[in-house]
Structure formats: structure tokens, C-alpha cells
Structure 1
């Protein structure tokens, strides 16, 4: 039920912002309210499409004055649907998507509405890349505030490990710079604590040199070979250099890999080094130990690799995710994963295993708020489908896989892979961050958002 908002108050807000204020009876409302996850179907009382960073403070004031819940939207790609809110105010930052590259300094400044695709397009001409995610439509803001796992994680670390500073508007409208020297504790909390402490208007990242053509690969295995492939893969990863990042995907085949109706295990590889023969030699070591049923290894432009999975996760799909860190790939863990993977008989649902270590693992546990640095693998279990009639079966599959891997996980959670029902820091799941990090994050919440204005997220509740 929409709250009664005085027309004069809405008109005052229109006057105060450079962007657009959209009400439910306006023609653009239906499009403006949509987010990427089609299961999230809520109706905000009001949407503001920011025209500049100066629009943020008036919107925060308006939400607090009228007692309305607030959602902050960057790319709108969050699976939990945190970029919208029923009967509240949505601050849509999507139009603020400029990306500025300082090639000499090796830095990239990114506005809060930019996507991974925007950043890759801007950095490619300079032979640079920022470690971000794996789908080009993902918003940089939400991805970064949660951590940022992708195809350069072993080479350059998480997105937060490359964050040099951020401009933030706090709940009282104050504009602050958070970096190693200014508001350093806030800077710590922004790196993994999600959008709990303010609205970030821009991010400054360090960028990494990347060849124009990146050696990539997909090694495809039918389910009769999964056990041997996973055992060989686990042994192979033990000696990998940082330049090789891999992600295993278990899913029902897409057209170019169609080997019948069976689910497939696909080892995706990205070699971030100009010496492509060295990367190819590493891949040959794996294929010799576990010959794939199908193999595609080629050098492609980085932007092509970064967009390769876009069509698999189209906007508007119904989506439900869970995740877990995995401590090992021993016989028992592999058996559990193979059993779960073989249960899939439909397109659009599966799981990814991200191999970590490298630059990611060398970051001190206390350097950021990210949950843990010692797990060798991180599992993301996902469902994507179109028909609401499939909701129960698809969500049950995701929950079942999560339950099956519990014996092989410490219980840490990555907030960007968490659904709307997953608790974080409300006293029910301290294992997500651990006791010490949760205490620091709560102290930050007390300092920067004691009224919990920024609660439409995996919320850290203030103790005051």
C-alpha cells in the first residue's frame, strides 16, 4: 500500500534534483521499477533517477522525512533484489555511468551506475583491466561493495583489493572520501560490508596490464568423467601461477556444447599473461591428466570473454542463489558435487566453483571486511528460469546443493551470491563475517548510519 505523499512534497523533490522523479501513475514507472531478477516484483512509492551525485542528499532527506524505506540501485543486477523496495523510495544511480582512465597512473575512476561492460570498454584501448565479475551487465557498485569475484581474481585479487578510494554520501548528506588516509575505517568496511554505510558515488581502482588477446578455454566433460576431471583439476590447481584463473561450471548444455540432454562440467580458463604458450602448456597438463570430451582453447579480446556468459543470464529471469566456501575437493566433496550436478535436467540452473588463492589469498585476513581468505574454492549455486510454475523445483535444487556441501564448508558467505532470505549480521549468522569483523562493521554502522537508513541490503544492524 503506497503511503500518502503530499503533492507539494513530491514537487519540492522534483525541484531539488537534476534527475527524474517517477510516480506509480506515470508511463515510465513499470520499466523503471524492474530489476534483473524477475522474481522480485515490488512496487516502490517513488523512483528517482539521479541526474548527478548532488541528487543523493535530497533523496536521503526525503526518505527520512517521510519515514520511507530506501533502496539504492546501481546496475540493478543484485539477485536478492536489493535495488528496489516495496512502498518506499528507489534511488536509481544507473544514469551516472562515466568511466575515466588515467593510463599513466594506472587508475580508473568509475561512477556508481557503471557496469562491468562500461569499464571494460573504457580500459581496453589502454591495455588495462580492473578485476571485476563475469557478466558484463553487472553493476560495479554492488559487485565491489560485496567483494568482486571474477576472471582476474587470482591475478589481481578481488575488486575490493584494487579499490584505492571511494566517494561516499552518508545518511546525513555529508560527502566524504574514504581511502587509506581519510576515513580509513569506513574504507575498510566498504570493502566487503556491502551498501550498509552510505551511497558510494564513485570508485577509484588500480588497473592491471592485460594483453589485447587473452588466452581462454573451456574444457567440457560429460558426467561419466566428472570424478576423474575433478580429481585431476584439484591436483593441477595446487601449482598454478597467479596468471591462471579458472571457474568450473556444472550446467545443462548450451547449444555450442550440446552433447545431448546430460548436464556438463565445464572448466573455464583465463590466462592473464602475454606469454600464451606458457598458458597453453599449463592447459595441456590438465587435459593430459583428464582428457575432455570437448575442448575450445583460443585467444580472444578480453571484452569478448567477459560477455561470453551474458546470454545465459538474461534480465528478467527468475533467479535464486546460495553459496558456500569449500575447504577441499576430496573424495567426499567430489562425490557430493557429482551427485548434485547429475540431478540437473533443465537449462539455466547449476553451480560454479571458483578457484581462489593467488593474489586473492595473499591479502591479509584483516585488511578488508570480506569474510575469509583461506578457502581454496568458493561455490555459487544458481537457478535461472522463466516460468513461475518452476519456482518450487528450482529453489529446492539450489537449497539441496547448499545442504549437501555444508560438511565441506566453514560456513562463510559471500554477500553478492546470497539471496533475499539469507541473514547476515542480525545476530543470526555471525559466521558470515566472524565475531571480530562483525563487531567492527557494527561499530561502523553505529557511526555512519545509526538510524539504519541503508537497510535494504544484507543488513548490518546498528547496536545503538
Structure 2
């Protein structure tokens, strides 16, 4: 930890409109917590910024005093890079402004928002931007990593709807980046994460959807998993872009939207959200509802906001979480066998595996348009090891690693950067591919040559 004299800290505190929180202050322990309970770090300073001026002050202070910097938006990322030991957390979580223009179908949103906040405002006008799978995810991290979610097949990745950003760079400069202004930086920020600066606000294109959508899930017993997954493979090969879907392999949680008699049983579930007219959606999902028949069927018209919150109960803050992830070229018979062999072998009823269906609009964006990596996998796989007792960590991490290893023969070799933990440079390179990684490294040299922003899925500047 760098030693800074008290007078310097007090001067910095006085320069902020927001709070400066230190060890021993009321609220310090809450302020340093992030979503993943595995992360237990103790920063020397937490600057809770209220606007761009505070962000500039915090960056300049950190640079002048050689402090390690962590940047917090929603604090939801599994790797825990939103907090650090001994350095400063530049905390954007109080920056929650959002302005919606229903005429131009655009929104300007500050970086502290989570998707539930965002949806609350845009859905008042029946508008949406693709926003991940749970409402508690921060808009900043999701967007900067690309952004997969329920309506990506219809409207593309979150970063595909990005029109411009405001960003503060490592030298304290405030820039706007778009396709016409600082276009190289704009390219890098659409997939390259937090490597190039602190984005303070995002301008999005919005799209018509809601406030009611056809959504929900069908649930089958795990013993029928092979038949269900083979059916699903054929089914999604023919569905339109409007249908977003995802497989869950897990123990059925105790949540209100599932019947009590299946709580605690091993299940395979298919969740869907239809981004189009409800009547047309009912026709599209009918084969899915008729197959089986399922143990439970919750598909029906519902508020998009309600659906987007549906899985929040299953991902509360504070649990211990470890991810392994990749892309599957397809759901081959051998891949299905590997999934079935491992998905329910964990001792933790909280662990689960998801397989989001990709394709559609996200696969039709030109590969060079953004820095986001592989757009051509058919399914992502995310193995979530989740538990509550720290002494069990090794066991659950090993389950996730062994499970992931069994799926690698069916992988494209790529990985979604927002699903990465602390896994090293090779895995980061796999998220982008060699050519894009080199282009991102050149941008790093231009905008952050000292690697001031290093707590991220780090792209190191070239020496």
C-alpha cells in the first residue's frame, strides 16, 4: 500500500462532491463488497463519484500518488475487479442518471445504473436495449464487454446499440467516442472492457418492445435431458430472430414461479423471451410447450421488466461463485452426453449451467465493426459453481474445471469476455482472437500506455 500523508487525502476529499470512504468509516465494509462473495479485498480509499468531475479528480489523484485503481459500476462481475487491496476504488454506483428520448428512441445513461434501473425508464415508452439476463447486472460492464442477453438475436449485442460514450482516460482527459469522433477508441470500447478509460455515460439506440412480452420457461426432469436437448437442438435451428432462449441444467430452486413439488429436484429448463407480437410468439413457442409434456410451463404474457427480474432471486449477492465458460459450435450428440455426465454431479444445489442460444442479429454484424470476439458460435456455455461455505471452495471449483474440460472438444475455442474470471492472458486472447487482440494492444499503447487501468480482463500495452 502506498503511503499518502493525511493532508493530501483531506485535500482530495474536499475536491469531491461525492463521498470518500476509508477503512474504519461507517459503511466501509458494505462499500467494499461486490456481488461475488469469494472476493474479500480492502481498498485504502473508495471515491463514490457523483459525476464526471469527481471521476477526473479521482483519476488525477490516483495517478499522482501511484495508486492501484479499481473501477466499480454495478460490481457484478465474477472476477471481482471492481475492488482492490490497498489502492483506490473509483465507484460510479451513485451515478444513476438516465434520459430517454422516445421520439429518437435513444437513451443517455450514466455508468452506475443496473439494467433494472434502465428498463424501468425505457419500458415506460415500450422501448428496450438488449440488457443481459438478470436486472442486477451493471450496464457499464455488460456493454463494454459486448453484452449478450434475452433480445440479442433480434437487436444484436448491447454494444451494437451503442451510439456514443463519454470517457475519462488515464491522463484525465474527457473524450466523447462514437463512429465519427475518436472512432478507434469507440471500436475498442465495444468489447474491449475497461482497458482504455472510465466510461461515465452511454448513449444507446432503443428498440420497440413491451411493456408486455411472451416469456417464461418450461421445465423437464433431468432423466429426460437427452431427449429434451436433442429436441431443443432441432427446434432452435428453425426459430426466428425474435425468439431468445436459454437452457438451464440445475437443481430446481425454491422460487415463486416454480411449483413446490419440483423444488430441489434435478431439472433441465428452457427459458424463452419472444421479442415480437405475443400472438405470433404463441405460435412459435407452441412446439416447445407441447414437447414432453413438461413438469412445469410458466410461459405467458408478462411485463418485460418482470421477466428480466425473474432470475435475480437465483443470483443474490454474497454467494461464493466461480465461472468456467466458452462457446459451443453446436449441440452435437457427444456434447450433449458431456453436459449430462457432469451437470448434476455437483454437491451444491446452488450450482447450475446455462447455455444461451446465440446467432441471429449478433452474427450478422461485420466482424470488424467492433472489438467483440467470436460472433459465430451457436451456444455459449457458462458453468456456475455456486456455494456458501468457504471451506468447500476447492471441491466446487474442481467440479467446474472438470466439467469445462469435458466440453472443450466441442468448443469454438472462444469465450465471452464478461464470463471470464481471473484466467490469464491466453484466455483473454481467446476472447478476441489474435488479430483483434493485437489491435486492442495498439489502442492500449495510445490511450493507456502505463496500464493505469489494469484491473480488468487486461490487455497489456506493448513495450
Q: Report the TM-score, using the length of structure 2 for normalisation.
A: 0.97
Quick one: distance in 1 between partners of 2:349 and 2:212? 30
Q: Is 1:422 matched up with 2:413?
A: no
* Secondary structure in structure 2 of the residue aligned to 1:300: strand
Are the counterparts in 2 of residues 313 and 384 from structure 1 also a CA contact under 8 Å? no
Contact 2:346–2:396 (CA under 8 A) maintained in structure 1: no
Q: Which residue number in structure 2 is paired with residue 136 of structure 1?
A: 135
Q: How do 1:166-181 residues align onto structure 2 when only pairs under 5 Å count?
A: 166-181=165-180
CA distance, structure 2, for counterparts of residue 399 and residue 74 of structure 1: 28
SS in 1 for 2:299: strand
Q: How many residues align?
A: 459
Q: Secondary structure at the match of 1:405?
A: helix
How far the C-alpha of 1:29 sits from its partner, in A, is 1.2
1:88 paired residue number: 87
Q: What secondary structure, in the 3-state scheme, does the structure 1 residue paired with 2:134 have? A: coil
Cα deviation 1:63-121 (Å, max 9, x = unaligned): 11221110000011111001001110000000001111000000011101011011000
Q: Report the 3-state secondary structure (helix = DSSP H, G, I; strand = E; otherwise coil) of the residue aligned with 1:319.
A: strand
Given the alignment, which residue of 303, 306, 319 partners 1:304? 306
Asked if the contact 2:214/2:273 (under 8 Å) is kept, the reply is: yes
Cα deviations by residue, 1:222-266 (Å, 9 ceiling, x for unpaired): 111111111111111111111100011111111224426432111
Q: For 2:393 and 2:352, locate their aligned partners in 1 and report how far apart those are by CA, in whole Å.
A: 15
Equivalent-residue separation in structure 1 for 2:222 and 2:415 (angstroms): 28
CA distance in 2, matches of 1:454, 1:260: 44
Residues 1:34 and 2:37 aligned together: no
Sort the Cα spacing of 1:316 and 1:208 in 2 relative to 1 into closer, same or farther, 3 A: same
Determine if contact 2:216/2:307 at 8 Å carries over to the other structure. Answer: no
- Partner in structure 2 of residue 264 of structure 1: 267
Rounded to whole Å, the distance in 2 between the matches of 1:157 and 1:83 is: 26
Once the 2 structures are TM-superposed, how far is the Cα of residue 12 of structure 1 from its aligned partner?
A: 1.3
Contact 1:194 1:457 in 2 (8 A): yes
- 1:369 matched residue in structure 2: 371
What is the TM-score normalised by the length of structure 1?
0.96
Cα 1:405–1:66 shift into 2, 3 Å: same
In 1, the alpha carbon distance for the partners of 2:212 and 2:306 equals 10
Give the drift of 1:427. Answer: 6.0
- Is the Cα contact below 8 Å between 1:19 and 1:55 reproduced in 2? yes
The structure-2 alpha-carbon separation of the partners of 1:143 and 1:9, relative to structure 1 and needing over 3 Å to count, comes to same
Partner secondary structure for residue 326 of structure 2: strand
The answer as to 2:161 corresponding to 1:162 is: yes
Give the match for residue 242 of structure 2.
243
- Contact between 2:13 and 2:19, CA under 8 Å: does it hold in 1? yes
Q: 2:439 maps to what in 1? A: 440
Structure 2 matches for 1:59-208, cutoff 5 A? 59-208=58-207
Contact in 2 for aligned 1:261/1:345 (Cα 8 Å)? no
Pairwise mapping of residues 270-281 of structure 1 onto structure 2 (< 5 A)? Answer: 270-274=273-277, 276-281=278-283
Q: CA deviation at 1:289?
A: 4.5
Q: Which residue of 2 aligns with 1:315?
A: 317
1:189-226: CA deviation from partner (whole Å, max 9, x where unpaired): 10111100000000001111113211012111111111
How big is the alpha-carbon RMSD for the aligned residues of Structure 1 and Structure 2? 1.4
Structure 1: gaps (5+ residues): none
Mapped contact 1:263–1:341 kept (Cα < 8 A): no
Separation (CA, whole Å) in 1 of partners of 2:339 and 2:367: 28
1-structure distance, mates of 2:428, 2:208? 39
Conservation of the 8 A alpha-carbon contact between 1:262 and 1:345: no
| Worse-superposed segment, 410-419 or 34-43 | 410-419
Q: For residues 315-356 of structure 1, what are the alpha-carbon distances to aligned partners after superposition, in whole Å with 9 as ceiling and x for unaligned?
A: 111111111100011110010011111313432111110101
Deviates more, 1:172-181 or 1:26-35: 26-35
